[in-house]
Chains A and B, each alone.
Chain A
């Protein structure tokens, strides 16, 4: 599926809402035909805009690491287990003295897919490859894979974990790349 820039999406939504406004004004009710069946449907008068505020205070180190180009996991020294994505508490020994460990960054490709039908909030990205790699420390990482041609990918191939900015937003995140 093609990429739709966010401005373009907002324009499409805006023009649809304007059409509904016109119908409401002329007909006196916000009723439009269903796009597939033609059944009359009432267009919700209210709109909900959700943007969650997610606490990260106890895993702050992970995000500081990204800014330095590092990807951290946590590790419980008592149980000798890694947590990735990182978590602040060890549920097995009921302790919170987890260590922050920088991931060495080498692994092998376990599986992947190419997302063509994208969620509404991802329509502004080109089709993306999601991959899972098993890192040499023994845990898995799931993220986007940067590769020019997906047909180059082979399960079992060596991959590395890198930190890059995601555009167009410009936030730091982690990617897999062929070694």
Chain B
């Protein structure tokens, strides 16, 4: 298997892109990524497009995005793994490069969620659990799935709504320095606690927003990467996991098993010590679709012991300079969560962090040269953990 590196990244501003259609939005990210890599469309061997859709008019946008971006003729497909679609598109594209099928692949994530009214978007996201037994009968919404975890977690370990709010405060703080973020306004714990209930105990400011956005990364084989850049960002290891469709079929609501499995696999492949993974990373992106999800991620990725994740939030240990800096781009919470684009945007962010190209206020100290992206689809239905390194993996 060949080594694969990211050699170009791009992304659109996240937010309400009422001035851009899905193809225009994707092109914003693709153009940046091609220019960043110093390549043209002719160099691209395959395009993997992440999009969940339903809320937007174009049902199968891989072809329309490629046509708009001057990529017609290239091998392509659309990839769906719910909110982890972006990572699924990136990983499948990387595997095409790794296998030798192509030398350069482009992974694109794009979502236009505001093409439908908010209640319709809420409906479609809610339908992404188990449709018949959870949505059709009982109207689960995405916040309510994670609220079921939050209630169980808080009751078992004594975490409070203030602890959850601190995740939101941190992620809004870093988003204020990110020109691509949907929300650049800082919030206080009080703002979060007083925001309107969405699915108790989760409130509006515990939730990632309905977002439009796109991101793209160029992946290249070792030979090609060396020619294109002095700072390739290598994929050092990928772990995969999944869990039951029906939430009720899981043994408890305190941990995402899919993340634990994916993390163990990624750590093994990248040579990360699973007993102390924080030692290996300068910066981490975790899937904070809801504040409780970031706390669960701390534990499931091994940054904190079970039941101790909320203490990292309480003590500010995931800010820059803490035990491990998490979501220095604002995360899904404040940067925004355009479903299909999220995983690709995480890869773009880690790449820029490792290359030390982000504004100083949110640039992590790059000492170890490694970062991690954790992307969850559904309520832990899918998880991808991807480890990136400035050092070529052994």
Contact = CB atoms under 8 A, between A and B. Distances in A.
Contacts of B247: 132, 142
Interface in A5-43: 34, 36-37, 39, 41
B368 interface: no
Contacts of A141: 248
B90 to A, nearest CB: 30
Interface in A128-179: 128, 130, 132, 139-144, 150, 155, 173
Interface in A40-55: 41, 44, 54
A61 interface: no
B99 interface: no
B18 A113 contact: no
A77 interface: no
A140 B249 contact: yes
Interface of B: 16, 18-19, 57, 117, 119-120, 122-123, 126-127, 130, 132-141, 143-144, 147-152, 155, 196-202, 246-250, 252-253
A116 B253 contact: no
A112 B19 CA distance: 40
Nearest to B139: A122
A117 B152 contact: no
Nearest to A50: B54
* Residues of A in contact with B, size category: 35 or more
B215 to A, nearest CB: 22
A65 interface: no
Given A113-B151, A132-B248, A173 B137 contact: yes
A111 interface: yes
A106 interface: no
B44 to A, nearest CB: 31
Contacts of B18: 34, 36-37, 39, 41
A138 B209 CA distance: 37
